[in-house]
Amino acid sequence: MLHHLSIQNYALIDELSIDFSDGLSIITGETGSGKSILLGALGLVLGNRADLGSLKNNDSKCIIEAEFDLTAYVLQDFFEANDLDYEDKTIIRREILPSGKSRAFVNDTPVNLSSLSELKSKLVDIHSQHQTLQISDALFQFSVIDALAKNDKRVASYKRGLKKYNKLLKELRLLKENQENEKQQYEYNLHLFKELEEANFKENEQEVLEGKLDVLNNVEDIKTSLSEALQITTNEEVGAQNLLYSLENTLHKVSAFSKDYQELYNRVASIKIELDDVVVELERSNETVDFNPNELEIVNERLQLIYSLQKKHQISSLKELSTIHQELADKVSGVENASDIINKKQQEVDDVAKKLDEVALLISNQRNKAVPKLKKELEFLLSELGMPNARFSIAVNPSEQYFNNGKDELAFLFSANKGGNFGELKKVASGGELSRIMLSIKKILSENIKLPTIIFDEIDTGVSGEVSNKIANIMQQMSQYMQVIAITHLPQIASKGKSHYKVFKEDKNGKTASNLKLLSTDERIIEIAEMLSGKDFSESALTHAKELLN
């Protein structure tokens, strides 16, 4: 509920601070006194667009703060999703700077206007003549029926299923589109895949072949160098191997005399062993190195195949070629196995659709059970509000189409006159009739779901007498379940409020300003007397005002 509202430098308001109570609050005041300014300020703090025209003094900023008690609502998830700090007593502040820029805060955390507007729908419902157009909207009509049917959890479950269903449908459509596109490329991709498959390249094959090619192209130089290396190591007189043998024998003679000599001997012995291994390798390599024109041709052909395929696919390594090979395999396999994949995805779609249908049927059954109750209550309330011949024809018809809230279509028809034809609300109901229908609907909703604070903006326009008393009684009944604020010109309605506020203009320092105050009991009697017979009210008007309040 709205607990407190403060306004600075807005329209005709210099500074205003007012507390609101639960139950039914009444706001009265002369035409042009500033009642619409209050609604404008409340709309502004809850996300409506602002401009410099909102500022009373263009040299100062406009600040509007509203404090809401959220303990009766379950809004923690909304606050968490929008990265806002939740407080049971939440303060929303809007600032409009002289530059024209505006800022909004929820519990001192900056918030964008889209999130603020979403929060507004959960906190305040401003009911005006304009809003009655909503009655003709099928989604709103369904929401009323679902409230009576207690369908909230079923509809939420259906929406989750519908989201999954639409996601799977999109995936299925993409699979089919891809299959069609891939079919057109299938033969070419298959040719490329087989080409790489037959090549059967091994890991690091390119590096190995390029190394082997270097050897084959330089066989003579390699053979000569290996022979010279063997001569240097194995010559009987001056070969490194023979000299190392002599060095080893010499050190062996003195190795027993000192640890240092022993260490030198061990190191030379180790070198001798390593050199012997080198000689063996040199002899093996010298024997195996030979010019083989057939092998050279094979290596050249293999490398040319690699280079040509790399050029063809515009890459420079076997690793990249391997990646392309796998991609082509997936594309070819995708086309060849597309039917299985599509059938599997279609089965997923069908399974979700079956569950959706089951939930949609439950929703539809509950709606059909709730319709007679809604019809009966609406017709009773409208009879109380001076429309004794009002009749509704409400039919929930099953459909094959998946809508956002189920699989039903709704015919919500109305007739105001006895024997009259039924028609769509927006076509056959007048503005006053729509207003009373909306009031009746809100009254029914207030008893079935937790509604936000509702503000009735002169909903009583064009009514008087007993009907105004009935409207007041309905508002009073609604206020047992929620906070109701009514802006009215009718004393019958004003007298029903738990709290009564008056909007008035006053001149200060040669300037006109609007203000709002909570009336005491005596002030309230005078205000209602003035509403009954004007500023110069009679003693009988005063007595009548007291009777109304009692």
Whether the CB-CB separation of 6 and 12 falls below 8 Å is answered with: no
Longest dimension (CA), the chain: 149
Structural domains of the chain, count: 2
- Residue 206's domain comprises 185-338
Whether the CB-CB separation of 321 and 315 falls below 8 Å is answered with: yes
Asked if residue 197 and residue 109 are part of one domain, the reply reads: no
At 408 the three-state DSSP class reads strand
Q: Is residue 266 part of a domain?
A: yes
Q: Is residue 333 part of a domain?
A: yes
Q: How far is CA 362 from the centre of its chain?
A: 27
Asked if residue 191 and residue 114 are part of one domain, the reply reads: no
Q: What is the CATH number of the domain that holds 498?
A: 3.40.50.300
Asked if residue 113 and residue 20 are part of one domain, the reply reads: yes
Last-in-domain residue among 318, 338, 358: 338
Q: Is the dihedral of CA 259, 265, 270, 271 positive or negative?
A: positive
Six token digits for residue 439: 């009031």
DSSP category for residue 55: B
Q: What is the DSSP string of 174-189?
A: HHHHHHHHHHHHHHHH
Euclidean distance between CA atoms 211 and 205, whole angstroms: 10
Euclidean distance between CA atoms 489 and 464, whole angstroms: 10
Euclidean distance between CA atoms 80 and 453, whole angstroms: 22
Q: Is residue 293 part of a domain?
A: yes
Asked if residue 198 and residue 86 are part of one domain, the reply reads: no
Euclidean distance between CA atoms 351 and 345, whole angstroms: 10
- Per-residue confidence (pLDDT) for residue 291, from 0 to 100: 66
Q: Is residue 528 part of a domain?
A: no
Last-in-domain residue among 308, 338, 368: 338
Q: What is the DSSP string of 124-174?
A: EEEE-TGGGGGGG-HHHHHHHHHHHHT-HHHHHHHHHHHHHHHHHHHHHHH
Ordered mean pLDDT values, 10 residues apiece, the chain (550 residues): 92 90 92 82 87 79 93 89 92 90 92 90 80 81 94 95 96 85 76 86 82 77 82 79 85 87 90 89 79 76 85 86 86 74 91 96 96 95 91 94 95 90 89 87 89 85 78 91 91 92 86 89 93 86 90
Asked if residue 195 and residue 117 are part of one domain, the reply reads: no
Strand 484-487 and strand 124-127: the pairing is: unpaired
Euclidean distance between CA atoms 240 and 100, whole angstroms: 95
Asked if residue 471 and residue 331 are part of one domain, the reply reads: no
Euclidean distance between CA atoms 44 and 49, whole angstroms: 7
Q: Is residue 510 part of a domain?
A: yes
Q: Is residue 427 part of a domain?
A: no
At 499 the three-state DSSP class reads strand
Q: In this structure, how many other beta carbons lie within 10 angstroms of the beta carbon of residue 491?
A: 23
Euclidean distance between CA atoms 19 and 67, whole angstroms: 9
- Per-residue confidence (pLDDT) for residue 220, from 0 to 100: 77
Asked if residue 332 and residue 195 are part of one domain, the reply reads: yes
At 51 the three-state DSSP class reads coil
Six token digits for residue 541: 């008007």
Euclidean distance between CA atoms 88 and 70, whole angstroms: 5
Asked if residue 31 and residue 102 are part of one domain, the reply reads: yes
Asked if residue 289 and residue 213 are part of one domain, the reply reads: yes
Whether the CB-CB separation of 504 and 27 falls below 8 Å is answered with: no
Q: Is residue 318 part of a domain?
A: yes
Asked if residue 216 and residue 317 are part of one domain, the reply reads: yes
Euclidean distance between CA atoms 11 and 108, whole angstroms: 24
Asked if residue 80 and residue 196 are part of one domain, the reply reads: no
Whether the CB-CB separation of 175 and 345 falls below 8 Å is answered with: yes
Q: Is residue 445 part of a domain?
A: no
Give the H/E segment covering residue 87: none
Whether the CB-CB separation of 25 and 499 falls below 8 Å is answered with: yes
Six token digits for residue 16: 């205003």
Rounded to the nearest 5 degrees, what angle is found at the Cα of 309, between the Cα atoms of 305 and 310? 115
Last-in-domain residue among 316, 338, 360: 338
Asked if residue 107 and residue 215 are part of one domain, the reply reads: no
